[in-house]
Amino acid sequence: MDLNKNRKIFIQLFFLTVLVAFLAKLFYLQIYDDSYKDLASQNVIRKITLYPNRGLIYDREDRLIVQNDPVYDLYVIPQQVRSLDTLKFCRLLSIEKEDFIKRMQKISAYSRYRPSIFLKQLTAEDYTQFLEHNFDFPGFYGEIRTTRKYPHASAAHILGYTGEVNRALIEKEKYYKSGDYIGISGLEKHFEKSLRGKRGKKFILVDVMNRDKGPFNDGNFDTTAVSGEKLYTTLDIKLQQYGESLMRNKKGSIVAIEPASGEVLALVSSPNYNPNILTGRERGEAFKALQKDTLDPLYNRALMSSYMPGSIFKIIQALVGQQMGVLKPSTAFYCDGSKIGDHVTPGYYALFEAIKQSSNQYFYLAFKKMINQNIAESTFEDSRIGLDKWKEMVVSFGLDQKLPIDFGNTRSGYIPGSDYYDGIYGKGRWAFSTIYSISIGQGEVEMTPLQMANLSAIVANKGFYYVPHMIRGVSEPGIIDTLYTTKRHTVVDSQYFDIVMDAMQGVLEGEGGTARMSRIEGITICGKTGTVENPHGKDHSVFIAFAPREDPKIALGVIVENSGYGSTYAAPILSLMIEKYLNDTISDKRKWLEKRMLEADLIKQEE
């Protein structure tokens, strides 16, 4: 009985020993394979990480706008470094000897046996030159990976950039390891999981001279890297580049949308930067320079800035006023500028002329009727009820809320309601006479450039919009979130848009229209100028428009900071964008206007 028991224990111990030996070998291969203990043949097993190609990004015409370039990370195992010609090594890699010593000391203090990155992102040319002498530098080897390249050097705020993961992210996201790169902003960030792909690995035998002796175990332990998914965007990269050239040396933004789909055609934030400078070995220094730049080129004005909209807000007032029953096309007010500053000839103005000539007093009086409808005993309570009813209609235009665009955070802008004024003045202590500045898009009203362009799309569609978005497919075109394919309707009936569109057409074509210099022969444009008061300097120039009127293909919002009237810069820039998009060229008759916009340096003028 004891003999059988002892035999059983012996067999169990034998199998346990075999299992421990197997697990130890597996642990060695997967965890400690880089300790590089010499084998009998003086070969060692090296684990190579196979970094996946990050997903490519295309514009709406399937033009490649983000691609990958090969680079090499140079690794070192300090224990393997011997008889090194330091001067030759430093000369090949264009580094100083002091830098070499500091790097080696830091790496050796961490581990002498584990591989550590000595130098990141060597170009293929630099690494090939180093590789020719690699046998002189035992302990050093390279691993290939890719870095981003932007062939059009454009759309930095849309595409975003990548950067190395930090320790906090590694602890939070188990997928990432030290040395990995991740999307930090823009599309690179918001579609990180689709773009990043999946790492692979392979095991090779290497002799003491760092020479590759072939795969270990016939590659049975190797896994293949899986490339990231492709992104298909709605962006027209040619239009984007043109918009960036028009906004050079100016502060502000351009947003262009296809009204029928909500697809973003261009989104320009200026000043901007060449996205290629945030790749490669010099990325860190370039990023610091961008952060220190007082013009703040990293800031996305198109999504994150909010401005008083000025006179473009009169479009909403005209539509809401009709829906509330306060305004009709024939509704006329006498305007002489006595109540609120006006630049029109004194006289009676109906709705069409009031929009076309941008009468402040007309919309002051119209807003007064919207707010004070004499439905309450107290003037204060009447104003409170009227304002909240008005706000409910206005926010249906996508205002006072974040438009959930699919590649970045946005601001919500602001539309004040009774709760806001109660907090400022106290309940029952304010009335229309307190808040009248919002009648013409001043005061507390704020809109983002994205919301301005979306307003233009809403008018083009006679009352509805799709949430603006940049992606038309992941892996393949046509598969997007239903959030971006669902119509959102305003509370204003479509019948009320015709008179507004007539007047917006008159802004460019009619006698006394505020943007006649920006009309385009053969293209019917509907637009509205705005001059936005700026408490910190010269007024901002604003313009929204869509074209062609009968079958709108493009709707835009443009704001040029500190540049004066809406007709001075915003309207010409927007009209050039329309002509470029619809005709693919600028007519000879308007070349002078294009030249003027391209050469204008408003930043220098500020200084």
Average pLDDT of the segment spanning 113-123: 87
pLDDT at 426: 94
- Does the pLDDT at position 563 exceed 50? yes
What distances in angstroms separate CA 26 from CA 19, 221, 268, one per listed residue?
Answer: 10, 10, 53
- Does the pLDDT at position 8 exceed 90? no
Residue 505: which of 451, 549, 453 has the closest Cα? 549
Backbone angles phi, psi at 68, to 5 degrees: -120, 140
Q: What angle do CA 7, 12, 17 make, to 5 degrees?
A: 125
Average pLDDT of the segment spanning 455-469: 98
- 379 vs 398: which has the higher pLDDT: 398
> Residue 424 carries which DSSP code?
H
Find the DSSP H helices in 156-300.
156-159, 167-172, 186-190, 192-195, 237-246, 283-292
Average pLDDT of the segment spanning 91-103: 92
pLDDT confidence bin for 216, thresholds 50/70/90:
confident
pLDDT at 20: 65
Max Cα separation, the chain? 120
Instruction: Give the separation between CA 485 and CA 262, rounded to whole angstroms.
Output: 8
Instruction: Give the separation between CA 381 and CA 364, rounded to whole angstroms.
Output: 20
pLDDT confidence bin for 379, thresholds 50/70/90:
confident
pLDDT at 10: 66
* Mean predicted lDDT score pLDDT of the chain: 90
Average pLDDT of the segment spanning 200-217: 77
pLDDT confidence bin for 116, thresholds 50/70/90:
confident
- Does the pLDDT at position 361 exceed 90? yes
- Does the pLDDT at position 32 exceed 60? no
- For residue 214, the surrounding DSSP H or E stretch is strand 212-215
- pLDDT tens digits, 222-276: 899 899 999 999 999 999 999 999 999 999 999 999 999 999 999 999 999 999 9
Return the amino acid letter for 514. T
pTM (2 d.p.) = 0.88
pLDDT at 607: 59
